Structure 1
């Protein structure tokens, strides 16, 4: 009986680490727990508010989140809205916190075991320099410069990356391109590779550490202030983006834990 009670307690703990928001099961345990869940492979996504607000109208993005193996609560705005609407107390697990934990793992640091998909040559230079300072040497053949992707990533659009991964067969693929696109790319890889690596869609997280974007210290990330740092650094780019993300509130208030679909959406 004691064994049964312990098993039940363990199952309840697992359930409590996930909360369904807008039809997506969000994980809000620790970064170490999230990294551990990804060891066997799969797709991890880190949805941000500016992309989440389009969940109902963007079918490709919605499909990528629904078919992810792990979605973490990176969006501070989403967490605040949910806790206010539901009188809940879920915690935030940021992409930055997840990345810090991920790069501490010996298998991620092993040369040739991780392929990094970089957003641009400039980003790659900053990120690789920073990784080297952390004691992580990335071979040149494990760096892929992403092209400009369209709204829907089809097989013909990135067979180069697909072939590269098939040849190298790394355990980890870390995608650092923009939110709303990286999730589509991650799902494309998951569906088309002959094996299933751990695909981490961490977006701009590494850029906050490497100097490719404004540096965000740990305390600011924990206080949900990353958006403010970005807005101050590049107000013309980020203030309109975060202002537009206010639409997420109306979407969450209407649908709560249900997945929004385009034919059900009102004008927001």
Structure 2
């Protein structure tokens, strides 16, 4: 499944969870870095408007479908992919890091949330070592010298996998910069995944996720912030349906 933006084309190149885990396991074992992005409708809205975001997305090695609309569009295009939410991948990816014997870094959110998320991860995943926690201040620039200092600290602490919880587009831009400055590290942009583990945010009940209603749960939890965002997402659907049909 592809999404086209002027001169940039973004491809969902990892079709399902088993493929993602096999690919990440191989890269971690070889100490080969990567950048993992989880595309959804909100990203498509931002990609249309932000050239810097498009440039960062274009260098992501692994792209999965994080959102049922992306899955539905892929079926329309007859290039089906499965749902692989970034939040669901934190524990499985952490297990792969423990098996590969590499340290894990947590970047984003707040100090308290990262401390709680790290404790939860190390409790759930035997032999996992969280070697770095970094909660950037408000206004953090992922392309600044402060960002570069984080990459240097990761390298010094022999981090092999970094979970980034900065929200889009900052997390993808951070990952893209990391691919150049810390090429042996895997970067996984997972949005609210660490806040769910820490308990700072409550995820939608399982039955709502099964009915593809997680967006509604989130919208009702923060209507002033999220209802305009979801309205913008719905507005681009007709064009994305045409794009999917063109790919048949």
Q: Deviations over 1:239-263 (max 9, x none)?
A: 22212212331442454499xxxxx
The residue number in structure 2 matching 1:160 is: 149
**Structure 1: gaps (5+ residues):** 1-18, 259-268
Matched, 1:97 2:88: yes
Contact residue 44 and residue 70 of structure 1 kept, 8 A: yes
Query: Residue in 2 aligned with 1:16?
Result: none
Number of residues of Structure 1 aligned to a counterpart in Structure 2: 235
Q: Residue in 2 aligned with 1:227?
A: 215
Tell me what 2:23 maps to: 37
CA offset digits 1:102-137 (Å, max 9, x no partner): 133352695x61111132223224423432442466
**Does the 8 A contact of 1:126 with 1:212 survive in 2?**
no
Q: CA separation in 2, counterparts of 1:220 and 1:108?
A: 33
Query: Are 2:102 and 1:116 aligned?
Result: no
Give the conservation status (yes or no) of the 8 Å contact 2:97–2:103: no
- Does residue 1:75 correspond to 2:75, yes or no? no
- Deviates most, 163-172 or 215-224: 215-224
1:192 is aligned to: 181
SS of residue matched to 2:12: strand
Q: Which has the larger radius of gyration?
A: 1
RMSD: 2.8
Change beyond 3 A, Cα 1:205–1:225: farther
Contact 1:78 1:248 in 2 (8 A): no
Instruction: Give 2:201's aligned residue.
Output: 213
For residues 225 and 231 of structure 1, the distance between their equivalents in structure 2, rounded to whole angstroms, comes to 10
TM-score by length of 1: 0.75
| Residues 79 and 91 in structure 1, CA contact (< 8 A), matched pair in contact too | yes
State how far apart, in whole Å, the 2-side matches of 1:154 and 1:90 are: 32
Q: 1:101 to 1:257 in 2, by over 3 A?
A: farther
Secondary structure of 1:252's match? Answer: helix
How far apart in 2 are the matches of 1:221 and 1:108? 29
Superposed structure 1 runs of 4+ greater than 6 Å apart: none
For residues 205 and 123 of structure 2, the distance between their equivalents in structure 1, rounded to whole angstroms, comes to 17
Which structure 2 residue ranges, 5 or more long, are not aligned?
28-32
Q: Report the Cα offset of residue 169 of structure 1.
A: 2.5
